[in-house]
Amino acid sequence: MHDFSMLTFCLFRSNILQFFLFISMFFLPLQVTGSESIVEDIVIADFSRDGLQGWQEKEFDGQTQYKLVRVDGKRTLHAEANASASGLFKEIHVDLRTHPYLSWQWQVERGHSPLAEREKEGDDYAARLYVIVDGGLFFWKARAVNYVWSSSQPVGSVWANAFAGKNVMLLAQRGPDDEIGKWYKEKRNVYDDLKALLGEEINAIDAVAVMTDSDNSKGTVRALYGEIRFSAD
């Protein structure tokens, strides 16, 4: 468990909040990425080229099964949760002043039935992607925006995490009307999203995480994650 104390786990009941706090406590001095060039993209995940290099896993309530699979000639990350919750995260400092745009690809193979996602008992998602801002020594000040594939909320909906409150804001990037088994390409201006959802200008993020979970709903969900990168435009 590295430097994350068991005491912190005892203070919170939410697996998702545990994941968020674990990541925020795990930050180390990192190479600052994105300050040298505003032309080259910052690759967070290229599973065909790099596999899972640089990604770390944190298990909470059972283990979501993450594995690399080949789809249409490319390696992608396959996630399956069976009444479980664990996530993968990657520490990387990205300067949003030069690389504000986050692009990724994902697909849900099997989603949740509609859940009350704004309540603690419904805080499960077939696919989600976090961008995380380090709180430094004050780990409780860590914040995140979580782009989710919602089972019940309309696309564009925004709400605070039921456990972490406004420190973790959720945005429904995909919703119940989106097609299962279809790849979607996404692009967000993270600089703008952090300002709008967290209420202040934030110039950098310190980690990215993905998570597929079903520990609250006790169901089975499956998703695929493709390439993830930051770019200047």
**Residue type present at position 98:** T
> Contact at 8 Å (CB) between 209 and 89?
yes
**What's the pTM?**
0.85
pLDDT by residue (tens digit) across 51-73?
A: 999 999 988 899 999 999 999 99
pLDDT by residue (tens digit) across 176-206?
A: 999 999 999 999 999 999 999 999 999 999 9
Give the tokens for residue 47: 């599973």
pLDDT of 27 strictly over 70: no
Band of residue 168 on the pLDDT scale cut at 50, 70, 90: very high
The pLDDT value recorded for residue 1 is: 31
User: For the chain, what is the HEC assignment?
Assistant: CCCCCHHHHHHCCCHHHHHHHHHHHHCCCCCEECCCCCCCCEEEECHHHHCCCCCEEEEEEECCEEEEEEECCEEEEEEEEECCEEEEEEEEEEECCCCCEEEEEEEEEECCCCCCCCCHHHCCCCCEEEEEECCCCCHHHCEEEEEEECCCCCCCCEEEECCCEEEEEEEEEECCCCCCCCCEEEEEEHHHHHHHHHCCCCCEEEEEEEEEECCCCCCEEEEEEEEEEEECC
Of 20 and 205, more confident:
205
**Residue type present at position 222:** R
Q: In DSSP terms, which residues pair with 161 in a beta bridge?
A: 165
Band of residue 135 on the pLDDT scale cut at 50, 70, 90: confident
The pLDDT value recorded for residue 25 is: 60
pLDDT of 33 strictly over 80: no
Burial class (CB in 10 A: 0-12, 13-18, 19+), 225: buried
pLDDT of 17 strictly over 80: no
Write down all domains in the chain, each with its CATH number in brackets: 6-231 (2.60.120.260)
Mean pLDDT computed over every residue of the chain: 87
Of 180 and 16, more confident:
180
